[in-house]
Amino acid sequence: MLAEANPGEATYLLSAYQAVLGPDPYGRDLVALTLADQRALALSRWTEKFGVRPADFIAFAATFGVTITIQEYSLTCAGAFTGVDLVGHPTEYAWLVHLPAVTVEVAEASAASVGDLLGSYEPSLAQGAIAGRAPAHTNPYFTYS
């Protein structure tokens, strides 16, 4: 019974932990998960601490199975050298989040009707999760490459 006290090791009480936690707000539980994956997700949601550094968001994206990089802009400081770009608000609080490339479905002229989209893609679940958790003063922008 001692193992059941930890959501990361629980078998019999895992469904109880999942019921208490409710659906994952970022949709990580919408795909078929192995027992080990269910335990890992329940443990991470039960004990999760979250920071505001780009490294925290990179680790968070990894929980979606996505590898990302985050580009921050250098802040302007007094005594900067000649040739250094001056960055002011709000650019100094922008993150450029690089997500893996996705498949873009482009419409064909012969098969399209008025009002059809010219193209579409399925954004990563990580995009909405990162945007929802970004610090209030930070503006994340996303690129798929």
pLDDT, tens only, 18-75: 999 999 888 888 888 899 999 988 988 888 777 888 999 999 899 888 999 999 876 6
pTM of the model: 0.64
C-alpha dihedral sign at 61, 67, 73, 79: positive
Alpha-carbon Rg for the chain, nearest whole angstrom, is 21
Place of tokens 């090791």: 9
Please report the pLDDT score of residue 122 as a whole number: 80
